[in-house]
Homo-oligomer: A and B are copies of this chain.
Amino acid sequence: MKTDTMNTLAPIEAYLDFSSPYGYLASEWIEDLAAQHGRSVNWHAVLLGVVFQSAELRPLMSYPIKSVYSVLDFERSARFDGTPFKMPERFPISTHNAARVFWWLKERDAAEAARWLHHGLRAYFVEGIDIGDTAQLRDLATRFGLDADEAEAAWSDPHWKARLKQANDDAVAAGVFGAPYFIIDGEPFWGNDRRLQIERRLSQGPF
């Protein structure tokens, strides 16, 4: 019966931008937590800049006082979580190419797309690789086992540009206004700091 029950549970819908520090931190624990409760994670790579416009928000780093605190909080939250983190020199960056590769991979294999997501997030937030730079993104694709020319062809392809645009529109329609943004059976949870509430939601249902 356990297996049957597990099969009926919807995946956790998970939205982030490759340039979101809190998204990266949450990406390091959400899959294990989901699996403990018989769920998978359905990733959505989106562009926060687009989402912010719809929600009339501005990027975190554009706020003069809040941004100073935020960098301190990114680093402290990473230490609190026990997750490797090094504040990138260039932040935030444009992540449309990394996101288009994600959607290109996802069409053929969602698990491979999830691995690319982790690969890209760790490259940016641990190794300091600027995944907004096309040369560095090509190198990253190669290290991942992709053909760099094929990856670049994908992120330059109007089809995958349109796919990412659709993903942004879908996120806005789903109410997403930041990252990480999780939806569990229709209930939204925003932020790496909603971890304990998500744990309770998964183990007890709505509370």
Q: Which residues of A approach B to under 8 Å, CB–CB?
A: 54-57, 63-66, 68-69, 72-73, 76-77, 79-80, 175, 177-178, 188, 190-191, 193-194, 196-197, 200, 207
Give which listed residue, B64, B79, B175, B207, contacts A79 with CB less than 8 A. B207
Known A63-B177, A177-B66, A197-B80; contact A190-B73, beta-carbon cutoff 8 A: yes
Count the copies.
2
Are A191 and B188 in contact, with the CB atoms below 8 A?
no
User: CA–CA, A64 to B172, complex, Å?
Assistant: 12
Are A188 and B69 in contact, with the CB atoms below 8 A?
yes
- In the complex, which residue of chain B has the Cβ closest to the Cβ of A172? B65
Are B69 and A177 in contact, with the CB atoms below 8 A?
yes
Specify which chain B residues have a CB less than 8 angstroms from the CB of A54 in the assembled complex. Answer: 65
Specify which chain B residues have a CB less than 8 angstroms from the CB of A69 in the assembled complex. Answer: 175, 177, 188, 190
Q: Which 6 A-B pairs have the closest CB atoms?
A: A193-B193, A55-B65, A65-B177, A66-B177, A80-B197, A79-B207
Specify which chain B residues have a CB less than 8 angstroms from the CB of A76 in the assembled complex. Answer: 197, 207
A-B contact pairs, 8 of them (CB 8 A): A55-B63, A57-B66, A66-B177, A69-B175, A69-B177, A76-B207, A77-B197, A196-B196
Specify which chain B residues have a CB less than 8 angstroms from the CB of A175 in the assembled complex. Answer: 65, 68-69
Q: How far is the CB of A83 from chain B (nearest CB, A)?
A: 13
Beyond the given A63-B177, A69-B177, could you list 19 further A-B residue pairs with CB under 8 A, ordered by the A residue number? A55-B63, A55-B64, A55-B65, A55-B66, A57-B63, A57-B66, A65-B175, A66-B177, A66-B178, A68-B175, A69-B188, A76-B197, A79-B207, A80-B196, A80-B200, A80-B207, A191-B193, A193-B193, A196-B196
